[in-house]
Every structure is written in C-alpha cells, then in structure tokens.
Amino acid sequence: MAEIRKHVAFAGKILIIGFGAVGQGTLPLILRHIDVPKRNIKIITADEGGREVAREYEIPFQVEPLVRENYQHVLERELSAGDFLFNASFDVSSLALIEYCAERGIMYLDACIEPWAGGHTDAAVPIGRRTNYAYREDALALRSRFPNGPACVLMHGANPGLVSHFLKQALLDINCDTGANLPEPQTREQWARLAMALNVKTVQIAERDRQVAARRKEWAEFANTWSSGAFVGESLQPAELGWGTHERHWPKDGTEFGFGCGASIYINRPGCMTRVRSWVPNEGPYHGWLISHGEAHSIPDYFTVRENGRAVYRPTCYYAYHPCDDAVLSLHEMIGHNFTMQARTRLLRDELVEGFDELGVLVLGHAKGAYWYGSQLSIHQARELCPHNNATSLQVNSAALGAMIWAMRNPHAGIVEPDDIDFRTVLEIARPYLGPVVGVYSDWTPLAGRGTLYPEDIDRQDPWQFKNFLV
C-alpha cells in the first residue's frame, strides 16, 4: 500500500466524464490524495460499466452520454467557475470541453485529445486533419484566447503525460553519467539546448506490456489492458512522429502537415500497419507499433532549438508500443477484417494472472548510446497498491492524479501540456504507484542483428536514422 498523503485541498466540484479503465482506477487515487468531500464528486458516463465501483465509494453515477447537442447543457447543470472537469472518456470532443471550461473558469484535465465519435476515421476530413498533430494544434490555438485562463492540462496520463517527465529525468541522468555535467535547465529553451548538447537524436516511447489473463482472447473479441475502443481509434490514425533535424532519408509516404509548429510529419498509412524496432530492459529488442500519440508532437516541439527562426536541433520522437499479447492478436484480427473492429471487447484487469508493463523513454544517440528510463510495474504490485487497476492503468492514473494536483495548485496556469509542468511534482506524486523506476544503459542499436541473413537497405553511417528503425 502506497503512503496515503493528501497533496492538496479542493473545495470545488470534480466531475468525471467517462468511467472505464482511467476513470475507475483514478477515483480511489483522488479520494486518497485530494482532500475533497465525496459529495463534491460525480460521474457521468455512457454505459453501466463501473457502476459498482462508484457505489463502493458512494459517488453518484449517471449514464448520460455527452454528444454535440447536449454537452453544454450537461456541463452548465453540473459545473461552475472554480470546479474541475476530468475528461476520462473517448468519443467526446476534448476541444469542445476545453473551450467550454476555459470560457467559464473551470479547470480541466484529459488523458488524450479526442474528437467526437467517428472523427478518427471520417474520410470526409483530410488525413492530416485526422491526426493528434491537428487536434493538438487546435487545442494550443485556444491559448491566445485564454492567456490567464483556468488550468487546462492536455493529454496527461502515462503516455502522453508521465513520459515527458521521465524524459527530463533521463536527460539529467545522461548529463551526469556521460560527464557532461551541464547546469540543470530552468526553461524550455535550456532543456532543448541540453538535449542538443548531449547529442540526443531519437526519443522512443518504448513500452512492452507483458500482462497475461487466464482466459485467452476469443475469436471476434478485442481484449486489451486498457480501452480497446480508444486503442483501435488511435491505431487507425496515420502514423505520426516528431521529425528530427538529423534525419536524412525521407520516409516513403511521409507527408508534412503544412500547418502548425512543423515539428512532426505523418506517414500515409495507419499506425497499426507501421512497425518499428525498439528495446526495453526486460524484453530486450522487440518490434512495436508506431501508434499515433500526442507526445510524439509535444516532445519534439518542446525540444526544438531555433536560431534566427530556423530549427537547428530537434529529436525524432514516436511511440513504439508492444501491447499485451492478447491485444496483439486482437489488432491482427481487426486489421485482417478490413480494419473493422470486433463487436465484443474485454478489459483485462481483474482476470490478469501475471506479467508486468515496462513503460519508459528510450533515449538514443548520446555518448552512451541508448538509455531507457521508466516504470516496470507488475500486475501483482499494481493490485497491492491500488484497487480497480492493472499495471497499465496505474501508470496512467497515478500520472493523471499528479497532473490534477498540479492544476489545483496552479489554478490559473492556462492551457498547458505535460512538458510545461514541473516534472518533479508529477514524478513525486506518481512514483509510489509505479513499481521499480529504473534507468538502464544499453549498447542496442536498430542495426543489431540486421543484414546478417538478408542484405537490407540501411544507413550504417548513422544508426539513429528513422529508416533503420522501420521493420
């Protein structure tokens, strides 16, 4: 059991929208670590899932799906200035909720920027506009309208979220372990210059989920350790990645967005069809999927160094995700069925029997080659630490708790991303729930084992070129 300490007192209301893996697993953490009367919390969701969890904690639970036509009415009824909206749903437009909250002085947090239902696959919308890049640009554009608005934290779970803080700690470790010993950065510009000075070329969000349930995935079923629906949604978005200034080989089907910060590109094929090589400490090398995620834009944007308006340094950055084995089979089946999602889904949580989730940042290209820094949380530890969670969700939910507390302590922070938040605050709050948090150096490169059996088109001069990571 983690230490029970109230990190902040909150007198307003907290409305939780959506009550699946994130909502259910975060509620006990909110009650443990935020000094808020239970009567101030309410859940509004789209189905009966989690009703018994809400009952266990005596929190009002209402099934009332938010849609374009009713969300303003629902929020007006439930919230006013100084309150908090925790958006733990999918298929609800984050942008609509952020705008609503910013206009009315309501604090806001989500774990992912989502469009209204069907938005990820709406063929009437140009591909580049159906991306996390575009959603992020639209959300950041609201900053100019609400410069001193309520704290609205975008995309803060584990990834996006916690991994931005892992990256800062990893850079400080590399700074020390390579003997560079540059001063600790205090500003965005200084963080970017530190990454540049350390010669970081690529940052992969490297995750291998090895949790296993007693009952295997069944035919025509999508089984996953978090939302199957949200995972399928993002895996059908085009592969999106931050594009480093060191890259010399333009990927086939690679496309520039043509708007926004310009830190990233997309590949004209879904993430579930784009595999990349990666490495985590327990698994060693593995093939992950380049699934579209917000941190693949916020991190490279944050770490861009500009001189005379021109980007002179930026790391490549993307997610290399190996979900749990049953989710891999589910993904394979979904793709085979013409990208049509299975009718049945199963959240693997209470029935998991073994395994762990290794989630961290793999920082590549510096003087010591590769450095992975992250959490290795097992299902057994997760269960001991907090009910209604598995290892994956506890990594997400403890970080969401950290962001919520940060927002309550900085209520007028305006619209911020994980990279803008003090990394030590979130790490301190989340860490008791993350199991072993370790940093491991490796001599692994994406060239390892390549070209021995079959000659391959790779760039041996610079192992950190994106083309070398593509499977």
Ligand X SMILES: NC(=O)c1ccc[n+]([C@@H]2O[C@H](COP(=O)([O-])OP(=O)(O)OC[C@H]3O[C@@H](n4cnc5c(N)ncnc54)[C@H](O)[C@@H]3O)[C@@H](O)[C@H]2O)c1
Q: Which residues bind ligand X (CB under 6 A)?
A: 17-23, 45-47, 49, 65-67, 88-92, 111-112, 114, 157-161, 226-227, 229-230, 347, 396
Question: Least distance in Å: CB of 470 to ligand X?
Answer: 24
Phi, psi of 143 (to 5 degrees): -55, -40
Which candidate, 51, 365, 146, 346, places its Cα nearest to that of 226?
A: 346
CB 163 to ligand X: min, Å: 8
Q: How far is the CB of 415 from ligand X (least distance, A)?
A: 17
Token pair, residue 172, equals: 């400080």
Q: Answer whether the bond into residue 65 is a cis peptide, omega within 30°.
A: no
Least separation in angstroms between residue 19's CB and ligand X is 4
CA count, 13 A, side-chain hemisphere, 21: 26
Element of type H or E holding 287: strand 284-289
Q: Which is nearer to ligand X, 34 or 396 (CB)?
A: 396
**Least distance between ligand X and beta carbon 438 (Å):** 19
Between 20 and 365, name the residue whose CB sits nearer to ligand X.
20
Instruction: Kindly tell me which of 247 and 326 has the beta carbon lying closer to ligand X.
Output: 326
Cβ 38 to ligand X, closest distance in Å? 20
Is residue 157 within 8 Å of 180, Cβ to Cβ? no
With respect to ligand X, which residue has the nearer C-beta, 194 or 230?
230
* 455: CB partners within 8 A, 6+ apart: none
By beta carbon distance, the residue nearest ligand X is 20
256: β partners: 265
Q: Minimum CB separation from ligand X for residue 162, in Å?
A: 7
Q: Which residue, 22 or 171, is less far from ligand X as judged by CB?
A: 22
As measured in angstroms, the least distance from the Cβ of 338 to ligand X is 23
Q: Would you say 209 or 301 has its CB closer to ligand X?
A: 209
Which neighbouring-strand residues pair with 437? 375
- DSSP secondary structure string, 185-225? P-SHHHHHHHHHHTT--EEEEEEEE--EESSPPPTTEEEES
Closer of 406 and 444 to ligand X (Cβ):
406
Q: Is residue 377 within 8 Å of residue 211, measured between CB atoms? A: no
Residues 6+ apart with CB under 8 A from 469: 202, 204, 276, 277, 278, 320, 446
CB closer to ligand X out of 22 and 261 = 22
| CB closer to ligand X out of 25 and 446 | 25
322, 323, 326, 328 alpha-carbon torsion, rounded to 10°: -50
Q: How far is the CB of 205 from ligand X (least distance, A)?
A: 10
Extended beta strands in 48-156, E state: 61-63, 84-87, 107-110, 152-153
